[in-house]
């Protein structure tokens, strides 16, 4: 979780009201980032940062890879929602789908070539957008970029070994630096939309770096649940998905800008 995300959490818990705009997103509107400058898209021309390598490139996420990324996320979300391992099942876990705006903002993030969380990536529709970033290194160019991206998602989920239901019931960033933010971001129950981007560049001789950034429709908030435990899908008002039976159907409504949802 970035410094901005933690600060945004504090503002929310103090009862700060969110500001929802209509129409096309004005990324330089300070209200979008709760009065703070630094939205990834504000005055961003979309070029590569000066620190990027000369051979830097964006790996296009074509429909087949897009579908694979979404499937992988829903597979893991469904596992947790169904009561996998030490985790209790989830009553209202969303089926996630692709969002082009979140994907465009993710591309702006990877184009910085620093594999760091940006300060803010909120939109009109997603006032509290979350973010995962993964980095993998390969020797030479003889590797499958798409399979590497899916492996990066697998490593995010592997953090589940380090988290617990205490984390799910009341999210806290571990003080000892234990990495659980990527896993919990993947299984946030309100995460019904997402978008990703992939960048590759040679960093040292023949060592190729691949950066994957995925943005999500909702971020985990300090002190609030990642998801509400209950019988799988028991709070889905539109039924469950036919493939991922522990997730709500694609028609389920989630008000991702309504924090009181978690104060029941």
**Every domain of the chain and the residues it spans:** 3-15+25-45+55-255
The CA–CA distances, whole Å, from 168 to 73, 201, 222, 251 equal 17, 36, 11, 25
0.85 exceeded by the pTM? yes
Instruction: Give residues with Cβ within 8 angstroms of 144, minimum separation 6.
Output: none
CB burial readout 189-208, b (16+ within 10 A) else e: bbbbbbbbbbbbbeeeeeeb
Angle 90-94-97 from CA coordinates, rounded to 5°: 150
Note the pLDDT of residue 7. Answer: 42
- DSSP-H helix ranges across the chain: 3-13, 63-81, 100-110, 145-158, 165-169, 181-186
Calculate the CA 166 to chain-centre distance: 21
Q: Which CATH architecture has domain 3-15+25-45+55-255?
A: 3-Layer(aba) Sandwich (3.40)
pLDDT in tens, the chain (264 residues): 444 444 444 333 333 333 333 357 899 999 999 888 899 999 999 999 999 999 999 999 999 999 999 999 999 999 999 999 999 999 999 999 999 999 999 999 999 999 999 999 999 999 999 999 999 999 987 788 899 999 999 999 999 999 999 999 999 999 999 999 999 999 999 999 999 999 999 999 889 999 999 999 999 999 999 999 999 999 999 999 999 999 999 999 999 997 754 444
Please give the biggest Cα pair distance in the chain.
Answer: 55
Q: What is the DSSP string of 222-243?
A: TTS-SS-BSSTTTT-TT-B-SS
Residue with tokens 């104060």: 263
CA distance 23 to 177: 39
């Amino acid at each position: 979780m970035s410094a901005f995300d933690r600060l945004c959490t504090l503002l929310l818990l103090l009862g700060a009201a969110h500001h929802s705009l209509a129409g096309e997103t004005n990324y330089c509107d300070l209200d979008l980032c709760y009065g703070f400058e630094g939205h990834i898209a504000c005055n961003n021309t979309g070029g590569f940062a000066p620190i990027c390598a000369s051979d830097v490139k964006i790996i296009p996420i074509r429909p087949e890879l897009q579908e694979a990324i979404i499937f992988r996320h829903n597979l893991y979300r469904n596992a947790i929602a169904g009561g996998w391992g030490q985790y209790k099942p989830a009553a209202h876990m969303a089926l996630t789908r692709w969002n082009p705006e979140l994907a465009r903002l993710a591309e702006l993030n990877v184009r910085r070539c620093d594999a760091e969380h940006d300060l803010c990536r909120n939109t009109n529709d997603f006032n509290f957008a979350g973010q995962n970033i993964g980095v993998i290194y390969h020797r030479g160019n003889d590797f499958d970029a798409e399979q590497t991206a899916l492996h990066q998602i697998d490593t995010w989920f592997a953090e589940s070994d380090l988290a617990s239901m205490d984390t799910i019931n009341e999210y806290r960033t571990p003080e000892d630096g234990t990495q659980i933010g990527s896993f919990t971001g993947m299984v946030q129950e309100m995460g019904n939309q997402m978008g990703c981007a992939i960048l590759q560049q040679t960093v040292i001789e023949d060592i190729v770096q691949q950066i994957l950034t995925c943005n999500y429709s909702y971020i985990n908030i300090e002190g609030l649940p990642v998801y509400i435990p209950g019988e799988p899908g028991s709070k889905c008002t539109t039924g469950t998905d036919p493939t991922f039976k522990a997730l709500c159907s694609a028609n389920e409504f989630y008000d991702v800008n309504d924090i009181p949802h978690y104060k029941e």
